[in-house]
């Protein structure tokens, strides 16, 4: 669809190995064996499987426990995606091309939507990762003990560490390509824009979790039930409010850039925002984990399948990173021999350690709770 094929996107598509003009229509299917490299279908399968699992779990929670929280997380993330992503893909038709040029392009995968702009796995990664992060924090009892805002901040941190493992690998394996000279992408943290590191990895899931817990989760915890219509409008509102939150939370960096005219200032303020999230969330998560280890949990725990999937996701990402290390260490000036930009290995390792620890902490709570429950059952 050549009228939607902006020059910047056409250039990015060419570098990724496909043509903007022949990328397909509203939906396109390809053989997984015809993709750019073998890592693309592996990534696709891993993420989509997680999203399906998260949806099944959300339905089970609703039917068996009358708890719609996970349903709202899942579809709230989709609502957020539908609000945020299309204008980034088509700034011209949305009338914002004078202010926003194409920021990135995804490679083509087995299933794509919107003329090669939106792979199915990208749709899936929003609810999958939001569910994993939300369930870990909820299982550790942070929302019960510290309230909506602190709980949402913890979700932002957990989501961040899971997402950055993926975010710093994608450009090297040609999962997507960033527009290097787009001012909105600057500054970069190795191959990743700081906006992605902070806004899309931490602030948007924080905003989503805050809205979900505010409008649904805390009321479910108090015993309230919702009708289908009430859940529908709340989910739409949550998607809209989370989108607004994603615009509001990065405002300090936006203002710093506008006032100073410096992308360095933007990067510094983004870093300070991320440090603030870590400063709030990390001590709370550690303290809460130690607390439930000693005294157990008196509330919600997730199903082990969610945590098993989270561990599988981390294992798959570790394998994909391991296969990329040869080219990574052979890179010159941040580029592999194929010209692909490399991410930050040390930061990825740090995120992997924190993500693994968070899964282990939640798994310990689940195991302890199940053991106590089984002991009580046997005694009875």
**What are the sequence ranges of the domains in the chain?**
2-379
Q: Give residue-wise pLDDT tens across range 188-208.
A: 999 999 999 999 999 999 999
Predicted local distance difference test score (pLDDT) of residue 109: 96
Please provide the DSSP assignment of 293-355 as one string: HHH--SS----HHHHHHHHHHHHHHHHHHHHHHHHHHT-BTTB-TTSPBP--HHHHHHHHHHH
Q: What is the pTM of this model?
A: 0.95
Q: What CA–CA distance (Å, rounded) separates 212 from 252?
A: 24
Instruction: Give the dihedral sign, CA 315/246/93/86.
Output: positive
Question: What pLDDT is attached to residue 222?
Answer: 87
pLDDT value for 372: 52
CB of 343 closer than 8 Å to CB of 192 = yes
Count Cβ atoms below 10 Å from residue 147 Cβ, excluding itself: 13
Distance of alpha carbon 49 from alpha carbon 309, whole angstroms: 9
- 8 Å CB contact between 366 and 297: no
pLDDT at residue 90, as a whole number:
85
Task: Report residue 334 as tokens.
Answer: 């941040």
CA atoms 82, 192, 153, 307: torsion sign = positive
- Taking each continuous run of H as one helix and of E as one strand, the counts in the chain are 14, 7
What pLDDT does residue 377 have? 41
Which are the contacts of 130, defined by CB distance < 8 A and separation ≥ 6?
A: 73, 74, 76, 77, 155, 159, 205, 208, 209
Residues of the chain with pLDDT under 70: 1-3, 295-298, 370-380
């Amino acid at each position: 669809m050549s009228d939607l094929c902006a020059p910047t996107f056409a250039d990015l598509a060419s570098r990724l190995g496909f043509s903007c003009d022949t990328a397909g229509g509203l939906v396109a299917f390809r053989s997984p064996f015809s993709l750019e490299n073998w890592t693309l279908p592996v990534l696709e399968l891993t993420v989509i499987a997680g999203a399906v699992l998260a949806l099944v779990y959300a339905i089970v929670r609703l039917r068996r426990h009358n708890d719609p929280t996970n349903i709202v997380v899942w579809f709230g993330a989709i609502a957020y995606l539908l609000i945020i992503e299309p204008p980034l893909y088509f700034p011209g038709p949305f009338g914002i091309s004078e202010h926003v040029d194409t920021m990135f392009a995804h490679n083509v995968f087995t299933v794509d939507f919107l003329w090669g702009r939106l792979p199915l796995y990208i749709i899936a990664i929003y609810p999958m990762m939001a569910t994993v992060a939300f369930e870990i924090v909820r299982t550790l009892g942070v929302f019960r003990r510290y309230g909506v805002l602190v709980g949402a901040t913890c979700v932002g941190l957990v989501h961040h560490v899971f997402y950055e493992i993926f975010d710093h690998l994608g450009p090297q394996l040609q999962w997507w390509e960033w527009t290097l000279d787009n001012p909105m992408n600057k500054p970069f943290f190795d191959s990743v824009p700081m906006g992605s590191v902070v806004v899309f990895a931490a602030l948007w899931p924080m905003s989503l979790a805050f809205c979900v817990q505010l409008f649904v989760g805390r009321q479910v915890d108090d015993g309230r039930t919702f009708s289908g219509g009430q859940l529908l409008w709340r989910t739409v509102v949550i998607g809209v409010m989370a989108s607004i939150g994603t615009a509001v939370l990065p405002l300090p960096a936006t203002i710093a850039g506008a006032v100073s005219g410096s992308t360095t200032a933007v990067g510094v303020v983004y870093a300070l925002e991320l440090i603030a999230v870590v400063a709030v969330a990390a001590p709370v998560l550690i303290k809460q984990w130690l607390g439930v280890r000693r005294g157990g949990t008196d509330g919600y725990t997730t199903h082990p399948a969610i945590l098993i999937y989270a561990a599988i996701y981390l294992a798959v990402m570790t394998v994909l990173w391991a296969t990329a290390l040869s080219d990574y260490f052979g890179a010159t000036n941040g580029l592999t021999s194929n010209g692909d930009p490399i991410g930050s290995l040390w930061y990825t390792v740090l995120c992997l350690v924190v993500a693994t620890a968070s899964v282990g902490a939640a798994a310990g709570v689940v195991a302890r709770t199940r053991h106590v429950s089984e002991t009580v059952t046997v005694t009875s």
